Chain A
Amino acid sequence: SQQGEEDPQALSIQEGENATMNCSYKTSINNLQWYRQNSGRGLVHLILIRSNEREKHSGRLRVTLDTSKKSSSLLITASRAADTASYFCAQTGNTGGFKTIFGAGTRLFVKA
C-alpha cells in the first residue's frame, strides 16, 4: 500500500467542539494538502501548505506542518454537524512531483 498514516482513524465530537487530526509521512515533500470527502462523493480540497510554511489558516481550519517530525495536523474549530466527513492528508514529493500519496483518512462525526 502507498498510504500515509493518519490518526485518529475515527473521531466523534459534539457540535461546537474542536477536532484535531494528525498526519505523518515518510519522505521529503514539496507540499501537503488536506481534502474532505462526504459519504459517497468525490474529494474536495480544503487547504495546501508548502514545505517552507509552518502554519496556515482558512476560515475555521488551521493546518500546521513540522518537517522535522514529518507530520501535519488539521484543526477544525467550532465544529458543525455539516463537518461530518472523512478527512485525508495528501503529500506530493520533491522528486518527480507527480505521485500524490493519500493517508487512510480520519472519519469525523459531529453530533448535533
Chain B
Amino acid sequence: GAGVSQSPRYKVAKRGQDVALRCDPISGHVSLFWYQQALGQGPEFLTYFQNEAQLDKSGLPSDRFFAERPEGSVSTLKIQRTQQEDSAVYLCASSATSGGYNEQFFGPGTRLTVL
C-alpha cells in the first residue's frame, strides 16, 4: 500500500475485554514501532520490531500488553483485560531501516475507548 494503515480506526471496549489492534506497515519496511498517545500528549514508545524480532518492549505498561509481528510484516498489538487507563490512541509507525535512525512513517492510529 501507499502508507501505513491501521485497523480498526475506532474501538470501544468494556472494561475487562480483550482487544486486538492491527498495523499494516509499508511493504518492505524493516522496522515497526508501536506508540501510545494520550490526549494532549506526545506519543509514548511501547515496543519495537526489527522484521519479526521484538527487540525492545521496554515501553509496554504491563503484562496485559502483548505485541507480535510473526512474519515480519503485519503486526498486532493485543491488550488483555482492558482498563479505563488504556484509553488512548495507539499509533503504529514503520521505517525502511533498522532502529530509530531515520524517518518513521505513521499510520492514522486506532482510538481505543474503554468504558
Contact = CB atoms under 8 A, between A and B. Distances in A.
A98 B99 CA distance: 5
Interface residues of B, number: 28
B103 A33 contact: yes
Interface string A77-112: 000000000001010100011111111110000000
Interface string B45-61: 10010100001101100
Contacts of A75: none
Interface of A: prevailing SS: strand
Interface of B: prevailing SS: loop
A101 B41 CA distance: 12
B31 to A, nearest CB: 8
B41 A105 contact: yes
A101 B109 CA distance: 18
A92 to B, nearest CB: 4
B102 A102 contact: no
B48 A44 contact: no
B42 A104 contact: yes
B108 A2 contact: no
Interface of B: 4, 33, 35, 41-45, 48, 50, 55-56, 58-59, 91, 93, 98-109
Interface of A: 1-4, 30-31, 33, 35, 41-45, 48, 88, 90, 92, 96-105
Given A3-B42, A100-B33, A102-B43, 20 more contacts: A2-B44, A31-B100, A33-B103, A33-B104, A41-B108, A42-B4, A42-B106, A42-B109, A43-B91, A45-B104, A90-B104, A92-B99, A97-B100, A97-B101, A98-B56, A99-B48, A99-B56, A99-B58, A100-B104, A105-B41
